[in-house]
Structure 1
Amino acid sequence: MNEDVRNVQAALATMTEHWQPHRLTSVNDYDVKVVKLLGEFVWHTHPDTDELFMVVHGRLTIQLRDRDVVLGPNDVFVVPKGVEHCPRADEEVQAILFEPKGTVNTGDAGGEMTSELREFG
């Protein structure tokens, strides 16, 4: 395979930990990340940026303070900057995230679920 080509399924197949995003590639000042999710994350915001979720496999609930947004395979949802949210996966979810380089997974919440971005490959 060409070294410039990345395969989402191949990347996800190498991942064993949940809530630990890996950079698949970058586009301008944005990272395209793959991640496996299971359980409930932490309530947090990203004060300076939107966050895009695209579900590859499974069913993801993005809890907002005023409603829940449920995503299935191939669904995309953008959490607007500054909106408090808490992703929840009752069964394992495989997803793609699109956000500016340097965005911390736990946003302004910090804590033990904060992960350093890992590289795929």
Structure 2
Amino acid sequence: MLDVLAAPVCMVYGKEDPWIVPLWAQRLKRRVPQADYFELSPAGHCPHHEAPGAVNSVVARWVGDMEAGGRLCLQVGDSWRERCPITGRDVSVSILNGDPKTVLERIDAAFYRLVYGDGAV
């Protein structure tokens, strides 16, 4: 179903997620290249509970951009900080392109390209 997805997609991911490690989010982003991929840190498996202010900011910006013209006004590599009104912690928000960052992630990406081809996750 991912190959025929035509709706805009907003991925909000907690960088410190212990169960869905970064390479899973990278795989999904590579599989759905039109998706906008936001990484929050510090945030884990439930960023909407751990960093609600940052998640609200991301969703509000993204929905506003989609309503205004259907394109994200921010670019890959942009980042900003949000102070969580509940925890008081600063949360970093980054827009990523899904490229692997570590050696293990690069090996994983190469393995999937080898086994499944360029369009694979």
Same fold judged by TM-score > 0.5? no
Higher strand share: 1
Larger Rg: 2
Q: Which has the higher contact order (CA 8 A, sep 6+)?
A: 1
TM-score, structure 2 length as denominator? 0.28
TM-score, structure 1 length as denominator? 0.28
Higher helix share: 2
